[in-house]
Amino acid sequence: MLRLGLIGGLSWESSALYYRLINEGVRGALGGLHSAECLLFSVDFADVEAMQAEGRWDDAAKLLADAARVLEGAGADVLLLCTNTMHRVADEIQAAVAIPLLHLADATARAALGAGLTRVGLLGTAFTMEQDFYVGRLRGHGLDVIVPGQADRALVHRVIYEELCLGVIREESRVQYRRVIDELVASGAEGVILGCTEIELLVSQEDCAVPVLPTTRLHAEAAVRLAVAPLAS
Could you state, in order of their start, the residue ranges of all structural domains in the chain? 4-104+217-232, 105-214
For domain 4-104+217-232, give the fold: Rossmann fold (3.40.50)
Alpha-carbon distance of 204 to 188, in angstroms, equals 19
User: Which tens digits make up the pLDDT trace of 140-166?
Assistant: 999 999 999 999 999 999 999 999 999
Alpha-carbon distance of 233 to 231, in angstroms, equals 6
How sure is the predictor about 233, in pLDDT bands with cuts at 50, 70 and 90? low
Return the H-helix or E-strand segment holding 4: strand 4-8
Domain range 105-214, CATH architecture: 3-Layer(aba) Sandwich (3.40)
Reference 100, options 23, 5, 36, 164; nearest CA is 5
Between the alpha carbon of residue 155 and those of residues 41, 55, 185, the distances in Å are 30, 20, 18
83 is catalytic: yes
User: Which tens digits make up the pLDDT trace of 180-224?
Assistant: 999 999 999 999 999 998 898 899 999 999 999 999 999 999 999
Better-predicted residue by pLDDT, 231 or 138:
138
User: Which tens digits make up the pLDDT trace of 53-108?
Assistant: 999 999 999 999 999 999 999 999 999 999 999 999 999 999 999 999 999 999 99
Catalytic residue among 196, 197, 208, 215: 196
Q: Is the pLDDT of residue 232 over 80?
A: no
118 is catalytic: no
User: Which tens digits make up the pLDDT trace of 8-19?
Assistant: 999 898 899 999
